[in-house]
Every structure is written in C-alpha cells, then in structure tokens.
C-alpha cells in the first residue's frame, strides 16, 4: 500500500482504493494547527470492484460530494453509517449528490432506539435544525436498516459488527479481490460498561479485523487522557495498537483524532507508537489517518 499515490486508471484499478475525507472526532477542528491531518469529522470513501462506497457522513462528506458531482459518470452510491452521533452525520445535508435528481443513493445504518434510518435523517433536517426540508433531496434514495449483517454485491462484501460505544454503533469490514479494509471510527476497546455486547468482545473484534490490509481505528486518547474519559466511548493509541497486533493487520491508521490534537502532537505520538510497535513485535505499518491521502491497496495477495 502506498499513500498519496494518484488513483490509477480504470484499466489498472486495484481491488480497493480508499480516501479519508474526514479524520477528526467529535467536532470539526479547522485551522493551521490541524491542516495536515485534517479538521473534518469522519468520512471514508472506498472504491471497490466498480462500487462506490462511503462510510459515515461527517463534515468531510461535503468535499467528497463536490468531487462526485464533477465526475462525468458515476454509478450508484452506497453510504454506510456507523451511528448517528453529530460528528458522523453533520455533513449529510451538504452532500451534493443528494440534491441531484439523476443520482441513486443507498443509505444503510443501524436503527436507533426503534427510530429508522430515514426518520433519523429527516429529523436532522427538521425546520428547527436546518433551513432546507428533507423533501428537497431530489436523488432516488433507499434507506435501509443494517444490523450485524453483510451487504454483498458483485464480489464486494461489507460486514458489520456492533462495537463498544454509546448508542448502537457498528464497525465495518470491506472485502474485495482478496483484500480487506476495516473501519472502526468509534469504539472503546477497554473500559466503560457495555454489558449488552456480552462476553468475548476483544476476541470477536480481533477475528473481525483479522488479516486486514488496513485497520482504521479510534485512537482518540493518550493513556494519560483516558483516565478522565472512561466510558466516553473511545480508545487509546496503545489499545488500538494492541488490536492491530492481535489481528495481524498490514497497516494501522489512528483515527477520530481529538479536536485539540495538533499535527505536531500527532507526529510525536506516531513516532512513539512506532517504537512501541517494534517492541511488541508488530510487523505492520503504523500511521495517523490524514485527510485527502489515497490508500491504494494492491490488486491481489502474492
């Protein structure tokens, strides 16, 4: 896998191409101190086997939408939501393909407390919160509930697993052409009280992420910060590294950066975590997810 490489032509398209359009957790954090890793909230674009998948609709989805409407031809879009906390849906009403009567968009996510996915989005665009009514979204839209299910089409498979986070929250595994990318933006690996998930969560998640080429995982806190944030639904850098090691992934990308974390601080943390990875014997690559960098995952395993 290489970063910041140009997206290859269709003829040489790899099985998976991904790009983070938002890497920040909780609230957008623009400004010179976050310009390199990005200030937009979660949004991940994945192109797999001709399918165009989007994960989460944080503020990063706005710029993705601008790019998509400028493309001469585009196929159906599928948007997967991990959950409905603000930082993961805030960009939804600004996603331009939704206003295009020619666009066809499938939107999947977990029902929340008995409220279906369409109603959740319509509520977000209610007149108290937003000036343009939900009915103005002219695209052909199909809203569907997705639990711990599998979505599959033409050899592209997306599996969902419930993770440890306040509200019903999913992590996703995308597989195509023998390659896999795992996206778990919000997840408290250790600590907190998530009895409803039952026993054996750590093993189930390690199985879910096993052998992935790329694991993009919540790493909001340092160990020192976590002490005051137990139960808030997020993990530490060390915990994410331990998962990457247990799952034997190719690359770990820290994600859901804390709003106050500067680029320079992230650089220092990554350097420290690479030393820990070496000490652990983790052979994979360790980096922090950056907005705008393409992750090109090669065609086939040797």
Binding site for Zn ion (CB under 5 A): 25, 85, 87, 186
Name the H helices within the chain. Answer: 60-70, 86-89, 117-124, 201-209, 223-226, 237-247, 263-280
Residue 253 CB, nearest distance to Zn ion (Å)?
Answer: 15
Residue 204 exposed, middle or buried by CB count within 10 Å (0-12, 13-18, 19+): middle
- Closest alpha carbon to 256 in 60, 111, 108, 109: 60
Are 237 and 219 contacting, i.e. CB atoms less than 8 angstroms apart? yes
Comparing CB distances to Zn ion, the nearer of 170 and 241 is 170
Comparing CB distances to Zn ion, the nearer of 148 and 272 is 148
Residue 122 CB, nearest distance to Zn ion (Å)?
Answer: 20
Residue 117 CB, nearest distance to Zn ion (Å)?
Answer: 16
Q: Residue 1 and residue 280: Cα distance in Å, rounded? A: 22
Residue 185 CB, nearest distance to Zn ion (Å)?
Answer: 6
Comparing CB distances to Zn ion, the nearer of 41 and 262 is 41
Buried b (16+ CB within 10 A) or exposed e, 260-296: ebbbebbeebbeebeeebeeeebebbbebbbbebbbb
Cα angle 181-186-192, degrees, rounded to a multiple of 5: 130
Comparing CB distances to Zn ion, the nearer of 25 and 38 is 25
Residue 85 CB, nearest distance to Zn ion (Å)?
Answer: 3
Comparing CB distances to Zn ion, the nearer of 137 and 258 is 258
Give the single-character DSSP code of 5: P
Comparing CB distances to Zn ion, the nearer of 17 and 161 is 161
For Zn ion, which residue has the nearest CB? 85
Are 228 and 222 contacting, i.e. CB atoms less than 8 angstroms apart? no
Residue 24 CB, nearest distance to Zn ion (Å)?
Answer: 9
Q: Residue 162 and residue 147: Cα distance in Å, rounded? A: 8
Comparing CB distances to Zn ion, the nearer of 26 and 251 is 26
| 115: CB partners within 8 A, 6+ apart | 123
Residue 145 CB, nearest distance to Zn ion (Å)?
Answer: 18
């Amino acid at each position: 896998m290489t970063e910041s490489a140009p997206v290859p032509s269709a003829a040489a398209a790899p099985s998976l191409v991904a790009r983070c359009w938002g890497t920040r957790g909780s609230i957008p954090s623009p400004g010179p101190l976050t310009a390199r890793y990005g200030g937009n909230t979660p949004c991940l674009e994945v192109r797999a086997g001709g399918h165009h998948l989007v994960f989460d609709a944080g503020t990063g989805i706005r710029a993705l939408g601008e790019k998509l409407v400028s493309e001469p031809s585009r196929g159906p879009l599928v948007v997967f939501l991990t959950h409905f906390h603000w930082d993961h849906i805030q960009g939804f009403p600004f996603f331009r393909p939704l206003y295009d009567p020619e666009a066809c968009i499938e939107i999947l996510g977990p029902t929340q407390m008995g409220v279906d996915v369409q109603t959740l989005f319509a509520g977000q665009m209610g007149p108290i919160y937003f000036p343009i009514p939900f009915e103005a979204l002219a695209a052909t839209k199909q809203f569907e509930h997705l639990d711990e299910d599998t979505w599959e089409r033409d050899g592209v498979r997306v599996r969902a697993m419930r993770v440890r986070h306040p509200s019903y929250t999913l992590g996703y595994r995308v597989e195509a052409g023998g390659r896999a990318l795992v996206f778990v933006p919000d997840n408290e690996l250790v600590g907190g009280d998530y009895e409803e998930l039952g026993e054996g969560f750590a093993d189930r998640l390690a199985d879910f992420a096993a052998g992935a080429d790329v694991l993009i995982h919540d790493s909001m806190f340092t160990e020192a910060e976590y002490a005051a944030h137990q139960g808030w639904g997020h993990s530490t850098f060390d915990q994410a590294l331990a998962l990457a090691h247990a799952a034997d992934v190719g690359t770990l990308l820290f994600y859901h950066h804390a709003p106050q974390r500067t680029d320079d601080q992230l650089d220092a943390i990554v350097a420290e975590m690479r030393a820990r990875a070496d000490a652990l014997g983790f052979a994979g690559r360790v980096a922090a997810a950056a907005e705008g960098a393409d992750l090109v995952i090669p065609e086939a395993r040797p």
